[in-house]
Amino acid sequence: MRFDEAWSSLRQAQKGKRGVSLYSRWVNRPLGRVFAAAAAATGVGPNAVTGVSALATIAGLAVVAAVPASIASGIVAAALLVIGFALDAADGQVARLTGASSRAGEWLDHVVDAGKMVAVHAAVLIGFTAGGRSGGAWLLLPLAYALVAVVLFAGLTLYSLLAPASGTTPPPSTLRAVLLLPADYGILAVAFVLWGAPDLFVVVYALLLIATTGITVLLARKWFRSLAAANGAPAPAAPEAT
């Protein structure tokens, strides 16, 4: 299969836009489509693409954790993390395009994603310590972010598995796509361009944590109520103030 054939086929067979942030819609998926077309044209399978995605992410996190913070190291780390995330979008596209989808491949993709959710904040924790931010308050930021990221990832994954199929799909909301931006891993990846300006990075990192926490709470409430209603059980009422 030639690159142009793969590219054309992928453009016509994209996932829906509903529930996806603008970054994933306009940046990550299109970039992943380029990698997917290149992989399909050269005979690289989806599991290999997942492996390359993991390697790019590990390389980016190694820069964050082990290389002294600077403008250059921040740009390199951000670029590697963005590429790793785009390759994460590419593996599924390669699988669908080549008919190589499998449960094992989907399992591998989710396991790598789960590891990434923890590893990125572990790297920040190491980087904070190496950069002299060893106080307890600074250490709490990446620890709290890792917790929120894991809860959000697990909640979304399990909801996708447990939610009943819907006959109708509402049109995608641009407002929702904007509001979801802080919780998009791609935005966090891009934020590492500020790694060489530690004080500014900490502020952006903390703001993303706060926003992602709020988004996680709202989505978890929505998912729970949706699953409760689908199971025929009324969602529990909020406790009255005493």
97 vs 170: CA distance, rounded Å: 26
Within a domain: 99: yes
Within a domain: 240: no
Within a domain: 242: no
pLDDT at 242 (0 to 100): 35
Within a domain: 133: yes
Identify the CA nearest to 17 among candidates 217, 175, 187.
Answer: 175
Cβ burial of 186 (10 Å; 0-12, 13-18, 19+) is buried
Q: How many domains does the chain have?
A: 1
Within a domain: 182: yes
| Domain that residue 144 falls in | 3-163+171-230
pLDDT tens, position by position, 80-129: 999 999 999 999 999 988 888 899 999 999 999 999 999 999 999 999 88
> Residue 39 sits in a domain of what CATH number?
1.20.120.1760
Residue 68 has pLDDT above 70, yes or no: yes
* Joined tokens for residue 167: 């006959």
| 34 against 166, higher pLDDT | 34
Q: What is the pTM of this model?
A: 0.91
Least confident of 39-48, 63-72, 124-133, 145-154: 124-133
pLDDT at 11 (0 to 100): 75
Q: What is the mean pLDDT of residues 10-18?
A: 68
Within a domain: 9: yes
- Reduced to 3 states (helix: H, G, I; strand: E, B; else coil), residue 29 is helix
Identify the CA nearest to 120 among candidates 162, 157, 71, 153.
Answer: 153
Other beta carbons within 10 Å of 146: 19
Q: Which long-range contacts (CB under 8 A, 24 or more apart) does 175-182 make?
A: 176/19, 177/17, 177/20, 177/21, 177/22, 177/25, 178/21, 178/22, 179/215, 180/19, 180/20, 180/21, 180/22, 180/215, 181/21, 181/22, 181/23, 182/207, 182/208, 182/211, 182/212, 182/215
Within a domain: 90: yes
DSSP string, 56-79: HHHHHHHHHHHSPP-HHHHHHHHH
Q: In this structure, are residues 184 and 120 in contact, taking their beta carbons and an 8 Å threshold?
A: no
Within a domain: 103: yes
Q: What is the mean pLDDT of residues 222-231?
A: 91
